[in-house]
Structure 1
Amino acid sequence: MVQVNSEIGPLKKVMLHRPGNELKRVHPFHLQEMLFEDTPLLEKAQAKHDTFAGILRENGVEIFYQEDMLAQAMKNESERSAFVEEFLDRSAIPSIGLRDRLAEYHNGLPLDEFVERVYTGVLKSEFDGGDSLGAVTYLDDLFSSTRCPTAISRAIAASTSPMASFCPTWASPTASASPCS
């Protein structure tokens, strides 16, 4: 459980995500919705993140990386299956057949590649969605599935991760889920 007794007290633990290959996939059409003015540069973003994380460590803050915690949570097959279902539900895939093939695709990936795809999304060029009407009507979109921070946070919170206490309300089955953003 999270207990914050002070907004100005020393920070002890923090959950971070180091910018990764997902930044290479930011399409100019999506810049405004992501509050970017220009396409972000991965190396520059990583350097800034590393500097920030270094300052936190120098001040005694314990850092937990979100992708490591997600990988730990996804080692359990039933948790991974439930996550994939929620993840794909929030990706608003217009075809049931395509959604089912994407679920099979995600569940069949090795763990490290699965975590990477959760963060980067799955490009159509990486996934053969078939020639069904649903897949064909989806051809104008770049991604078959997109990343979903809410689903990631819920999966971590529901796991036995040492940082699950960061987001206890997301782990609750009665908690209202916010849309993917």
Structure 2
Amino acid sequence: MVKHYVGSEVGQLRSVLLHYDSLAFERLTPSNCHELLFDDVLSVTKAAEEHQQFAGILEQQGVNVLYLNQLLGDTLAIPEAREWLFNQQLSDFRLGASLASSIKSWLNELPQDVIAKYLIGGLAFKEIPDQYFKPLFDSYDWEHFILKPLPNHLFTRDTSCWIYNGVSINPMAKAVRRRESNNLKAIYRWHPLFASQEFNYYLGNESVNYDNSTIEGGDVLVIGRGAVLIGLSERTSPEGIEALSRALFRTGQAEKVVVLELPKDRACMHLDTVLTQLNVDVFSVYPAVINENTRAWTLTPGVGDGLQVKEERNYREAIMSALSLSDIKIITTGGDIYGQEREQWNDANNVLTIRPGVVIGYECNTLTNEKYTEAGIEVLSFAGEQLGRGRGGARCMSCPIERDGI
């Protein structure tokens, strides 16, 4: 049985959630890829092979790999869960009552794994059998999607993140990713792997309009010892950080939240694209973004429901204080300023630590990988030429469910 607890970024990784769906990528085209937050289309076959390499490394290292699409299919076998998901993804207000009712009737006749495939890979108007296409006004373009594909489900880290003994189902910043949260809500609420377990919900387990309070898991690093590191970024707002911090303190699952300010830029959309933890006292950073000028704050519980906020002198001191360390080692992205920019763009800093001093990353980032090796960090590499086109590396593509503390 999986224990739903993530105590650090670098303790032994025991169970992780991954996802790859060919249908969503088959429907990624030059005309819609930017809308769907990809820089380009990718080779579906090669991307699948790369993802299999990634999953294979994890399994070889003894990590239990769970797959989102399989969990979603299992969840859809539960009538209550299926009804809830249909009402969320195919509501009367999204489709109109006439069309919503007829499509739900059709989907209910399909196997659960096929329904999951459509909920993730997208559903085009032309795929609906004629007898079930019953809109009030027949004015639809049959080439368009009734449900857009969700290729960003590939990045399982963002939609939900486990922090100590609890999970945040995150209010996503981009509209094209918000449907992803409903799939995770259903899995965590009804799937037998989670339904019988006790854990905290920080955000996302209620029908709330989070408005400006957006947060994504790529900005959340569980650095251990009761501390959490969060990036104030393009995708994670001050309001989102406050909401998550209050929930962490209210449940007693964290004692400190350290916040680092990032540029509001797609090149460093999340904290984990410019900083990750490789060992208890070793961090990888992209120095053009994370440096002595990076503003940092520490949040701690205040009186009652209040928060105490302290601006730190620099990010290093903030992290050292949070982890009770006298020093930390910083490994910068490899190469000169041009090489560093190229390798950061290819997610050289976005590595997944599977145990202290052992990380998984893309093999194309040779300059940074060499620096990791020289510093005593073992790099298990895999091809990422296609997967990297969504601007995410091994950490982005993994959501730890169970990991030891430090």
1:103 aligns with 2:107: no
> Hey, what does 2:205 align to over in structure 1?
172
- Structure 2 gaps, min length 5: 150-178, 215-406
Which residue in 2 is equivalent to 1:132?
Answer: 136
Contact 1:13 1:63 in 2 (8 A): yes
Distance in 2 between residues matched to 1:33 and 1:48, nearest whole Å: 24
Offset at 1:155?
1.0
Which ranges of structure 1 fall in alignment gaps of 5 or more residues?
Answer: none
The verdict on how the C-alpha distance between 1:140 and 1:125 changes in structure 2, with shifts beyond 3 A counting, is closer
2:85 paired with 1:83: yes
In structure 2, the residue matched to 1:57 is 59
1:155 aligns with 2:159: no
Counterpart contact for 1:12–1:60, Cα < 8 Å: yes
Deviation at 1:97, TM superposition (A): 1.4
Letter in 2 for 1:132: L
Amino acid in structure 1 at the alignment position of 2:38:
F
In 1, the alpha carbon distance for the partners of 2:101 and 2:54 equals 40
Match of 1:32 among 23, 31, 34: 34
Work out whether residues 21 and 121 of structure 2, in 8 Å CA contact, stay in contact via their aligned partners in 1.
no
Q: Letter of the 1:27 partner, please give it.
A: T
Higher helix share: 1
CA distance 1:172–1:39, shift in 2 (3 Å)? same
Greater shift, 123-132 or 48-57, is seen at 123-132
Q: Is the 8 A contact 1:155 1:171 kept in 2?
A: no
In structure 2, what residue type is equivalent to 1:172? N
Shift of 1:120: 1.7
Cα shift at 1:176: 5.7
Change in CA separation of 1:42 and 1:143 when aligned onto 2, cut-off 3 Å: same
Structure having the larger proportion of residues in strand: 2
**Equivalent-residue separation in structure 2 for 1:5 and 1:90 (angstroms):** 41
Shift in alpha-carbon separation, 1:17–1:172, aligned structure 2, 3 A? same
2:119 alignment partner in structure 1 = 118
Q: Aligned residues: percent identity?
A: 24
Corresponding letter in the other structure for 1:32: H
Q: TM-score, normalised by structure 1?
A: 0.81
Q: Are the aligned partners of 1:157 and 1:167 in contact in 2 as well (CA < 8 Å)?
A: no
**Whole-Å Cα distance in 1 between the matches of residues 200 and 32 of structure 2?**
27
For the residue of structure 1 that corresponds to 2:116, the secondary structure is: helix
Residues 91, 97 of structure 2: 8 Å contact kept: no
Over residues 13-46 of structure 1, what are the superposed CA-to-partner deviations in whole Å (9 max), with x where a residue is unaligned?
Answer: 1011123222111233321132322212111111
CA contact (8 A) 1:15 1:65 kept: yes
Q: Secondary structure at the match of 2:91?
A: helix
Opposite residue 103 of structure 2, the aligned amino acid is: L
Matched, 1:41 2:51: no
CA radius of gyration, larger in: 2
8 Å CA contact 1:27, 1:39 repeated in 2:
yes
Post-superposition offset of 1:139: 2.0
Is 41-50 or 31-40 further displaced after alignment?
A: 31-40
Q: Supply the AA of the counterpart residue of 1:159.
A: W
Q: 2:25 aligns with which of 23, 32, 44?
A: 23
> 1:86: Cα distance to partner?
0.9
Structure 2 CA distance for partners of 1:42 and 1:73, relative to 1, 3 Å:
same
Paired residue total: 176
